[in-house]
Amino acid sequence: MHWLLMAARRAGIPGADLLSILPNTPLKQAWIQVEAASKLETGELVERLATVLRVHPALVDRAENKALKLVPEKLARRFSVFPMREDDRNLVVATADPNNLDAEQALSFASGRNVVFALATPSQIEDRIAGAYSPDLAVESLLLRMDAQLADAVEIVDDSAPEQLQAAELESTPVVRITNLVLREGITQGASDIHIEPGMEGGVVRFRIDGVMRQHMHLPMQALNRIVSRIKVLTKLDIADRLRPQDGRTRVVVEGKAYDLRISTIPTRDAEKAVIRILRTDGAKTLAASGLPATELARLRQLLGMRDGIVAVTGPTGSGKTTTLYAAIRELATGDVNVMTVEDPVEYQLAGITQMQIDTKRNVTFASALRAILRQDPDVIFVGEIRDDETATIAVQAAMTGHLVLATLHTNDSLAVVPRLVDLGLDRATIAAALRGAVAQRLIRRLCAECAVAAEEPLTPEEQRLANAYRVRPKLRAVGCAKCGMTGFRGRVAVAEVAVITPAMVEQIAGEATVAQLRKSAIAAGMRPMLEVALDRVRDGTTTLAEVERVIGEATAEGTPETPMSVPIVPASEASGERGPTRILVVDDDPVARRLASAVLELSGYTVETAADVAETEQRLSRGEPYDLIITDLEMPGGGGQVLLAKLRSKVSTAGIPVIVLTGAAADETETVLIEAGADDYIRKPLDPPRFLARVKATLRRAGL
């Protein structure tokens, strides 16, 4: 029996009992038969089927155009799906087959989002595909949008001579106009980077805005190759050499403001990828304007007031390390001290300081530049990055001979600077003598002031989950509007933890203390953990808990404040009427099978409990223990999975719990009987861990968990 017919019968669709649809019947034909027999309106039919399939009905007339960019036409036609809407995490896709794992995996890989299926008929999906896609839709759309005035508003200026080039030097081909428009839109939308990427089905242009990648447009490969070549011409790179990575830079003027562009190209299998970093020449802020909280700002200024030693700023790429150090340098460069920098590249040009650009072709490295700088009588030295043992050694020597050295390092938190410097070859006694403090930093998105609304009761299930985890009640909720690109966020703000090395910590560092021990001492000395600083941003309405989780990670015992009296921390099931997303009960009389299933699930972050038979399961359920999913063996002494399934579906309190049945039987009729009895999925033993986990996740997603 076809799965669609099973669903139709469970949904009580008129005429379904009289139908006979073989399992191998094409999906479109099966839908036609069910539609014809039911004589229901399409919307009502889809809504009733969606209920038993545990998905939402797709409102195909409300699809958002920006979601279309995430799913190539070939993929949409291959799986007969249509993208409805998207956000930073999820892509909602209309499908006629919500059980299609292959489609889910392919769409997730192509879009970089978690795929959520919504139900629609094949004819609805085909109509939407035909109306939205065409072979050259992306390019045609771009050219139609292109305004000559906007495209010509990008002025390319020589890096060594910032005056405007002569008009005769600028070509007026469509490729030049497209390139100019890509640059202009990236700059005006506030992108920090523009990615021009080749792919199997064509090229794509993506903008990184507020730290998150957004797809901007699709391009045919021929157009993409020409755009990359045009960019290489602007930066004086070798357009004939497509086999080596190349780096260059240029300057453009858009709407009267100058922007430096750093260009990096790398060869791919069939083409080249280009990434353009946009540097705003007025982007170097002061510390007062950096947005750091008052406590962290005061501690950072305490470190900058020291006359020698190393102050390290840490964090991953794109966390604002260099921007913070530029702000510090601007505050230090008062005219009575000699400030010198070694950078790769020089991102912002600052008055009153000496900035050196690394050039490995001329043997100007961090190490050689530092040696030269030490002969220039500096007071403050900024090292763009300590990345090797030679640079680390010279930086420490400078720090121990009366210079304040500011540097960046790639570590996860502030005190991880110590093992990182040990990895670079420094001994712990030297590190203890030289290190004055460390700053770990991240950037979190700021809620859009135009569309954010109060997070009124009841909280959404996701908000309640996060409130329970972080013990903080959100103040505002992201919505989305035209000004923030429908993301709900606009701009970013820094969150940081500032560790000041105390005499006790100096002894700990020299005595080979662990990072955890150093961190405990730093907190005792006044350092606020980064998570605590970020949660303050939630309390004052600057950002959301979801953004904190995205940037910093899950809540931990350390740094999470006590439960505020005004925030009721209750299970999500009590607060919202829906179950939490992680509790799974595994029912199997075989202890080996229980341990295997539990281990696979626990490694993926689920909370797992086990029961040996139906009776033990009923005892657990009678105590009111909430479960999001029950996985049960089919054959067990005293009643197997089919008996348990019947008991679960007969009670209001347990009828909605998804159930997966495990069995060693290979008979197709067994699967049919179980699905008709209300099982959500059926998996044969022995378990293949990756496939088992994929089926579990798919079942939870269909249940909205």
pLDDT over 70 (residue 611): yes
- 570 is a domain residue: no
**Per-residue model confidence as pLDDT tens digits over 653-698:** 777 788 998 887 666 677 777 777 788 888 888 787 878 888 888 8
Instruction: With cut-offs at 50, 70 and 90, classify the pLDDT of residue 281.
Output: low
For residue 213, the domain's CATH number is 3.30.450.90
Give pLDDT, residue 666: 61
Res. 566: pLDDT tops 90: no
At 66, which CATH number? 3.30.300.160
Q: Give the end of a domain, one of 551, 566, 589.
A: 551
Structure tokens at 576: 């919202």
Counted domains in the chain: 5
pLDDT recorded at residue 495 = 92
Q: Are residues 322 and 461 in the same domain?
A: yes
Unique residue bearing structure tokens 């090229």: 203
Shared domain for 414 and 366, answered yes or no, is yes
d(CA 362, CA 676): 74
Expressed as residue numbers, the domain containing 421 is 294-551
pLDDT tens track for 482-515: 788 788 999 899 999 999 999 999 999 998 889 9
Q: Give the pLDDT of residue 555.
A: 53
Task: Determine the angle formed by the axes of helices 221-234 and 174-188, rounding to 10 degrees.
Answer: 80
Identify whether the C-beta of residue 536 lies closer than 8 Å to the C-beta of residue 499: no
Among 363, 337, 333, 364, which Cα is nearest to 348's? 333
Q: Write the DSSP string, 4-19.
A: HHHHHHHTT-TTGGG-
Whole-number pLDDT of residue 563: 36
End of a domain among 131, 151, 181? 131
Which two three-digit tokens encode residue 502?
A: 């105390």
Instruction: Encode pLDDT of 36-56 as tens digits.
Output: 888 888 889 999 999 999 899
Return the pLDDT at 159. Answer: 45
Residue 126 within any structural domain of the chain: yes
| Statement to judge: residues 306 and 404 lie in one domain | yes
The angle formed by the CA atoms of residues 349, 355 and 360, to the nearest 5 degrees, is 115
The CATH code of the domain that includes 636 is: 3.40.50.2300
Q: What is the pLDDT of residue 282?
A: 64
Q: Do 532 and 426 reside in the same domain of the chain?
A: yes
pLDDT band at 233 (very low <50, low <70, confident <90, very high): confident
Query: With contact defined as beta carbons under 8 Å apart, do 324 and 313 qualify?
Result: yes
Based on the fold, state whether residues 533 and 585 are members of the same structural domain. no
Cα distance between residue 383 and residue 391, in whole Å:
9
| Candidate from 194-208, 279-293, 515-529, 559-573 with smallest mean pLDDT | 559-573
Residue 602 lies in a domain: yes
Instruction: Assess whether 504 and 413 both reside in one domain.
Output: yes
Instruction: State the chain's mean pLDDT as an integer.
Output: 82
C-alpha separations of 394 from 308, 387, 437 in Å:
14, 12, 18
Query: Cβ–Cβ contacts within 10 Å for residue 454, how many?
Result: 10
pLDDT band at 213 (very low <50, low <70, confident <90, very high): confident
- Over 60: is that where the pLDDT of 450 sits? yes
The token duo for 206 is 């993506």
- Using alpha carbons, list the distances in angstroms from residue 299 to 106, 145, 291, 347, 496: 48, 50, 14, 26, 11
Q: Are residues 461 and 342 in the same domain?
A: yes
568 occurs within a structural domain: no
The DSSP code for 545 is: H
My answer on whether 107 and 252 are in the same domain is no
- In this structure, the answer to whether residues 412 and 441 fall within a common structural domain is yes
Q: Could you tell me the two tokens for 105?
A: 């995996």
What's the pLDDT score for residue 343?
A: 83
What average pLDDT does the segment 427-435 reach?
A: 93
Looking at the fold, whether 427 and 513 belong to one and the same domain comes out as yes
Burial grade of 670 (CB within 10 A; 0-12, 13-18, 19 or more)? middle
Q: Do 169 and 154 have their domain in common? A: yes
State pLDDT tens for residues 404-427: 999 999 888 899 999 999 999 999
Q: Is residue 405 part of a domain?
A: yes
Q: What is the arithmetic mean of pLDDT over 22-38?
A: 89
Cα–Cα nearest to 281, from 215, 333, 221, 351: 351
Q: Is residue 564 part of a domain?
A: no
What does the pLDDT average to over 528-544? 93
Same domain, 375 and 463: yes
Q: Report pTM.
A: 0.56
User: Looking at residue 365, which CATH number applies to its domain?
Assistant: 3.40.50.300
H or E stretch including 38?
helix 27-38
**Per-residue model confidence (pLDDT) at position 74:** 84
- Considering 103, 131, 159, which residue would you say is the last residue of a domain? 131
Q: What was the pLDDT predicted at 522?
A: 93
pLDDT at 218 over 50: yes
- Report the DSSP beta bridge partners of residue 268: none
Whether residue 443 contacts residue 320, with contact meaning beta carbons closer than 8 Å, is answered with yes
What's residue 575's pLDDT? 38
Q: What's residue 155's pLDDT?
A: 62
In this prediction, residue 562 carries a pLDDT of 39
**Torsions phi, psi for 294 (to 5 deg):** -60, -40
Percentage with pLDDT > 90 across the chain:
26
pLDDT at 415: 93
Please give the average per-residue pLDDT across 387-412, as a whole number: 89
Residue 152 has pLDDT above 70, yes or no: no
Average pLDDT over residues 226-231: 86
Average pLDDT of the segment spanning 541-559:
77
Tell me which residue of 260, 261, 177 sits closest to 223, measured CA to CA. Answer: 177
Does some domain include residue 561?
A: no
CA-closest candidate to residue 195, choices 228, 238, 233: 228
Of 191-205, 557-571, 664-678, which has the strongest mean pLDDT?
191-205
- pLDDT higher than 60, residue 618: yes
pLDDT at position 160 is 40
Q: CA triplet 632, 636, 640: central angle to 5 degrees?
A: 60
pLDDT of residue 153: 57
Summarize pLDDT for 334-383 with one digit per residue, the tens: 888 899 998 877 777 777 888 888 877 788 888 888 888 888 889 999 98
pLDDT, tens digit, for every residue of 157-171? 554 433 333 333 334
> Is residue 109 one of the residues assigned to a domain?
yes
